[in-house]
Amino acid sequence: MHGALLAVALTLASAHGNPPTSPLSSDVKYFGGRVISNVKIVEISWGASVDSNYMTQLQGFYTAIVKSPFVDWMTEYDTIGLTGFADLQPGSNQHIGRGSFIGNVVITPANKSTIRTSRPSSSRSSRRTACRSRISTRTATSIRFT
């Protein structure tokens, strides 16, 4: 896999005669504020009909990704010693490090017929609206950590 990526980069470089550069590499500015130091992931599944094999695969992915070099690369966005670009105020002085996968949560609505949507119930907006409603009114009948 790494060889294929290297071959693509070399092909791009030779096709244009110059090595590829990132126009954004010098344009990123810190304007203050906090960053997520050590992410904690909780997977939320809507309804008990979510395939358990799929949930297990996602658990493996989330567990691996938060402890991977991909997260290590995020240290370039550490805010240690930085000041805000616009206001010159001290930054949050944070280091971005590896995180953790907390678990899976399955949310099942108390009564699916009370969820009113103009789209099919599988749409993202209807799940979000119903989830917020159930959490705010504490009417979710099943919240399960696995």
pTM assigned to the model: 0.54
Token pair 């504490």 is found at 138
Cβ count within 10 A of residue 1: 5
Residue 75 lies in a domain: yes
Most confident of 70-74, 116-120, 141-145: 70-74
The pLDDT-based confidence of 107 (bands split at 50, 70, 90) is confident
**What confidence score (pLDDT) does residue 72 get?**
93
Residue 132 lies in a domain: yes
For residue 12, give the amino acid letter: L
Domain coverage including residue 138: 30-145
Residue 14 lies in a domain: no
| C-alpha radius of gyration, the chain, whole number | 22
Distance CA 28, CA 74 (A): 13
For residue 47, give the amino acid letter: G
Q: How many domains does the chain have?
A: 1
Distance CA 106, CA 127 (A): 12
Residue 41 lies in a domain: yes
